[in-house]
Every structure is written in structure tokens, then in C-alpha cells.
Amino acid sequence: MNIAVLTSGGDAPGMNAAVRAVVRSAESLGHHVYGVKDGYQGLIDDDMILLDHQSVSGMLSSGGTFLGTARVPKFHDVAYQKKAIEHMKKRDIEALIAIGGDGTYRGAMDLSKLGFKVIGLPGTIDNDIAGTDYTIGFSTAVETIVDALDKLRDTSQSHQRCSIVEVMGRSCGDLALFAGICGGAEFIVTPENPVKKEDIIETLKKHKEKGRRHAIIVVTENMFDVHALAKEITELSGFASRATVLGYIQRGGHPDSEDRILASRMGTYATELLNDGIHGVVVGIRDSQMVHLPFANVVGFPRPKNPLYKLYKKIA
């Protein structure tokens, strides 16, 4: 069988390790793998290369995605989806493994509805996909944020400041939650755990009165204008405050060991599913076990609120 693999949406550390696992496990089962360039754009443009054992050498530890990724709005159009299938069929490609986030899954589900065999792998730092405990790239991004929080704590403590740190995550607060717990944040403000500005300022005032020297607030993007919040905290709480927007640095870096293992397991599991004739599903990890679920059970479904919020409230 010829299998295509692509990476799409925001890049995430571990995408390369997942492609490597697809290529090597497929080869060991006697299949061939084409790498599609720049996500769905490569399917539209017929831009694919045959990958083999050697061409993914060194990919386990590399960040980003060597196949490239892109946001391709025109892929919503069924005419381009049909063109993508034509280009794959021309090369006798029978199945596609699409690695990305929720949008990537929507594109993959559309191809599946058109009768093409597709499997989705969750590749996004945001951990915002239903049906899996973790996505490829999340663990590495948490490490990156924790490293930044540790450094900001050093300077906040020295200057008796409050640091506000904005992290990615869109509608999912897991990056802020996990990193906030690891970095000992006083406040974790996320879509699942919104906190009023007035409450933050009141609590900080009390902290100041008790003689605390610093505070860290981790905020998911779009919850606050963090620079305006820093100004108000400085004026009203007694803590001089500075905002740091971590931005795209969260997407980069070598995948950590958790992401390398997760990507290797998921990539291998996906090819084994195709080998067993299973498709139209997304791969996930639940309670440390590989699982697969139909696209329709995952796409558009919210993740349940993470139970770690209870822990954070007890130790913040």
C-alpha cells in the first residue's frame, strides 16, 4: 500500500518524530510512504516526495516539521478536496495520515466523507483535542514555558515584582495550567478558570501586606490585555508588575522525551491501523494506552475541564 503523510496547522515539536515512525513502521510492514509538503497545500499542488528509512534519519530529535506546514483556507472547498484525492490516486496512494490540530481533523474528515482512507494524529502544542489525554508537542511546550517561568521568578523575586506571563492555548488552558503548576504560579487564568481582574488585585494587595516578595500570573492568550493588566496591578496592588508574552518561542525546540515517545507510538499505531484495514479515525492516548475514535466523535467536541485545577487551588 502507498500511504501519504502530512503535517498541518501550527507546527509542534514531535511532528517529525511522528512522520519518522510512520515511515519506518510502514516500511517494516511492506508499505511505501509519500511525504506531502506544506499540509493540504501539497495535496492541492501535487507536491509529494517518496520517503524511506534514510530520509527520516535524524528526525527524531528535530523541532518544527521538515515537511512544512501551512494554513490553507481554500481546502474548505470540496473542489480542492477532490483535486487532493485525484493527486493521491494518481500515485496509487490509498490512505492519508494527517498530523495536526482540530482544523486539520476537519479537513481530514471531509476527505474521509469523500471515500478516502484517512487517519488523524493529534499534533499541536495546545492540547486542545478531544479524545486524547495529550497531543504531540504539548509536553515540550510546557517545558519551554516552565523554563521561562523559572527565569522570570528569579528576576521578580529580586525586584519584588509581579510577573504576568501570557501563553498559547487558544480555547484550552492546559498549557497555562500545567506550566503554572510546575512554575508555582499564584494565579492561573484560563478559559476553564477565568479570574476577575479585581480579585487578582485584591489578593495581591493581601500578599503584599503579608510581606510576599513576588507573584507569578500565567494567563492563556486572549483572556486579558496583559500589558494593560500589568499597568493596573502596578497602580492598584502595590506590586510593580511586568507582562511577558512568550509567543512563538513556545512552538520551537527539540521535542522532549515524552513527545518523542508519544509521536513514535502514535505514528506506529496509525500505520498498524491502516494495515489492519481501519481508517476514518483519530489516534489518541488515554490512561497511557493507544486508542482510536471516529472523526465524528472528536471533531468539534470540547475537552473536559482538567482535574488538575483542583490540585492547583490547594497549593497555589
In whole angstroms, how far apart are CA 234 and each of 204, 239, 256, 257? 10, 5, 37, 40
Minimum distance, C-beta of residue 200 to ligand ATP, in the bound complex (Å)? 28
Minimum distance, C-beta of residue 166 to ligand ATP, in the bound complex (Å)? 17
Contact between 280 and ligand ATP (CB under 6 A)?
A: no
Binding mask 11-50 for ligand ATP (x = CB under 6 A): -----------------------------x----------
Q: Which residues contact 290 (CB under 8 A, 6 or more apart)?
A: 265, 266, 269, 283, 284
Minimum distance, C-beta of residue 95 to ligand ATP, in the bound complex (Å)? 18
In whole angstroms, how far apart are CA 188 and each of 70, 143, 162, 217? 31, 16, 13, 6
Among 16, 24, 67, 126, binds ligand ATP (CB under 6 A): 126
Q: 55 or 171, CB closer to ligand ATP?
A: 171
Minimum distance, C-beta of residue 8 to ligand ATP, in the bound complex (Å)? 5
Q: How far apart are CA 24 and CA 267, in angstroms?
A: 9
Which amino acid would we find at residue 58? G
Contact of 3 with 31, CB cutoff 8 Å: yes
Q: How far apart are CA 68 and CA 63, in angstroms?
A: 11
Minimum distance, C-beta of residue 227 to ligand ATP, in the bound complex (Å)? 24
Contact between 63 and ligand ATP (CB under 6 A)?
A: no
Which amino acid would we find at residue 84? A
Q: How far apart are CA 26 and CA 248, in angstroms?
A: 33
Among 34, 66, 75, 116, binds ligand ATP (CB under 6 A): 75
Q: Is 110 one of the catalytic residues?
A: no
Q: How far apart are CA 288 and CA 270, in angstroms?
A: 16
Contact between 71 and ligand ATP (CB under 6 A)?
A: yes
Minimum distance, C-beta of residue 10 to ligand ATP, in the bound complex (Å)? 3
Contact between 10 and ligand ATP (CB under 6 A)?
A: yes
Contact between 100 and ligand ATP (CB under 6 A)?
A: yes
Q: How far apart are CA 190 and CA 204, in angstroms?
A: 18
Q: 104 or 306, CB closer to ligand ATP?
A: 104
Q: How far apart are CA 57 and CA 18, in angstroms?
A: 12
Name the catalytic one among 11, 102, 126, 174.
126
Among 8, 127, 190, 241, binds ligand ATP (CB under 6 A): 8
Q: Which stretch binds ligand ATP (CB under 6 A): 3-11, 52-60, 114-122, 213-221?
A: 3-11
Q: CA dihedral defined by 275, 76, 137, 281, rounded to 10 degrees?
A: -30
Q: At what angle do helices 138-159 and 174-182 cross, to 10 degrees?
A: 50
Q: Which stretch binds ligand ATP (CB under 6 A): 70-78, 157-165, 225-233, 240-248?
A: 70-78
Q: Where does residue 246 rank: exposed (0-12), middle (13-18), buried (19+ CB within 10 A)? A: buried
Q: Which stretch binds ligand ATP (CB under 6 A): 106-114, 171-179, 278-286, 288-296?
A: 106-114
The site for ligand ATP (CB under 6 A) is made up of: 8-10, 40, 71-72, 75-76, 100-104, 106-107, 110, 124, 126
Annotated catalytic residues are: 126
